[in-house]
Amino acid sequence: MPETRPQAVGFLGGTGPLGRGLALRLAVSGVDVLLGSRDQSRGREIAADLSGQLPPGSGEATGASNREVLERCALVLITIPYQAMGATLEELRPLAPGRILVSTAVPMEFLGGVPHPVTTGFGSATEQVAQLCPDSLVVGAFHTVAAGQLLKLDHTLDEDVLLTAHDSAAKERVSDLVERIPGLRPVDAGSLDSARFCEQLTPLLLRLNRLHRAHTGIRITGL
């Protein structure tokens, strides 16, 4: 029997490196992706550019406004800078009930060029999404995956993706999505209050990248 075509995955702020990188890899795996932007025409432009890189048999990449993404997609990745995430969700949250929202934001700032975690007041950016959108199913994921590596289709990925959520069905759905991308392994990291640890790994990875002139990711051993 032919495999059922997976549901389209949406991105808020899908025009940045992480949104484009994840959309590219998911589209290659056969998933349709909807790249949202504050400016619908920018979303379309980036989606057209992405489409040009897709091999035959890929999912479709389409551009849209962020609003349209929430209207059309049951699973939406939030790929907006942390500093803009709260205001964006305040505006769009009436459209979010029932959606699976995947929080990727890393609350981080550069002080003297060195990455430092930022205190959110919510425990983590992921928990902030859950507080702002209480009727959505919030999952934390992809915090430690570098956009630059996703965007290079000839780069072989080899890393884990830590997943946090209260809702196990939503976590499972995102886990299935991670598994579609060769070289990424989903790892259940527990409930949302673990998200702070996942998010804080990223400033460390960026420091390691600089120290070792490397592109680091994470692998959990013993599982």
Ligand X SMILES: NC(=O)c1ccc[n+]([C@@H]2O[C@H](COP(=O)([O-])OP(=O)(O)OC[C@H]3O[C@@H](n4cnc5c(N)ncnc54)[C@H](OP(=O)(O)O)[C@@H]3O)[C@@H](O)[C@H]2O)c1
Using CB under 6 A as the criterion, which residues of the chain lie in contact with ligand X when the complex forms?
13, 15-19, 37-39, 42, 79-82, 84, 88, 104-106, 142-143, 145-147, 202
What count of other Cβ atoms lies within 10 Å of the Cβ of residue 2? 4
**Nearest CA-CA partner of 184 in 132, 219, 137:** 219
Q: Please name the residue that has the structure tokens 């939030």.
A: 78
Residues linked to residue 108 through DSSP beta bridges, in sequence order: 117
Residue 67 C-beta: closest distance to ligand X, Å = 11
C-beta closer to ligand X: residue 55 or 127: 127
Residue 27 C-beta: closest distance to ligand X, Å = 16
C-beta closer to ligand X: residue 18 or 26: 18
Residue 99 C-beta: closest distance to ligand X, Å = 18
Residue 199 C-beta: closest distance to ligand X, Å = 8
C-beta closer to ligand X: residue 2 or 164: 164
C-beta closer to ligand X: residue 82 or 169: 82
Residue 12 C-beta: closest distance to ligand X, Å = 8
CA distances from 120 to 90, 152, 156, 180 (A): 16, 32, 34, 31
**Nearest CA-CA partner of 86 in 147, 145, 130, 35:** 130
- Who contacts 178 (Cβ-Cβ below 8 Å, separation ≥6)? 141, 161, 163, 184, 185, 186
Nearest residue to ligand X by CB is 16
Q: How many residues does the chain have?
A: 223
Give the Cα separation of 82 and 153 in Å (integer).
26
C-beta closer to ligand X: residue 10 or 13: 13
